[in-house]
Amino acid sequence: MTKRVAILGGPRCGKTTLIQQLYVDMKIEGINAGFALEYSTDYLKEKGMIENIAEQYGIYLGQKRLEDQLDEFEYALTDYATFVPYIYGRFMLGNKVRTKKEIEILKDLYILALEDIPKYDHIFFLPREFGYEKDGVRWQDEEIAKQVDEAILVFLKSENITYTTLSGSTKERAKLVFEHLEEKK
């Protein structure tokens, strides 16, 4: 049975770098691991900025398709999770008055999130420790990235999701993930 590992955090906090480090470290250790990188990054490169909440459903489907391809591995790593589009959907809408359509889409995303949360065996959160540099793909500045960090944490806490916060350099974070996975065997 594949063990699913999600590394979460706002944009530019080191998720992809950590996934890449974990993947290499696991391969060196002879661990059968695969990874699915954040689908929304490719979506943004290909289609441009996300303009409405309905696009979050497409991002959910794209991420799910990528993660479903990892069933053959002992460990499936991702720097996103299929429940994150719900978090971004809520974030996009903010405090504005929502249309009936936006409410229905948000409800759908929430139901999908609740169905998918149990599929992740290990969830890690990366606090923002390395500063923020725009990459030309993401639209967020550092202040918005921090708000996304907070939205992710609020969701994890409000849904009573068990997660581990990782601090330190990429190698230190990878070591902490390995230690956590060993403890849970």
Give the pLDDT score at 143: 83
What domains can you pick out in the chain, each with its CATH number? 3-183 (3.40.50.300)
How much is the pTM?
Answer: 0.92
Give the pLDDT score at 139: 57
DSSP string covering 145-172: HHHHHHHHHHHHHHTT---EE--SSHHH
Give the pLDDT score at 61: 96
Which H or E element spans position 132? none
Q: Which residues of the chain have pLDDT under 50?
A: none
pLDDT in tens, 152-165: 999 999 999 999 99
Q: Which two tokens stand for residue 52?
A: 């409405």
Give the pLDDT score at 141: 73
For residue 62, is it left (φ>0), alpha (ψ between -120 and 50) or beta?
alpha
Give the pLDDT score at 56: 94
Give the pLDDT score at 125: 97
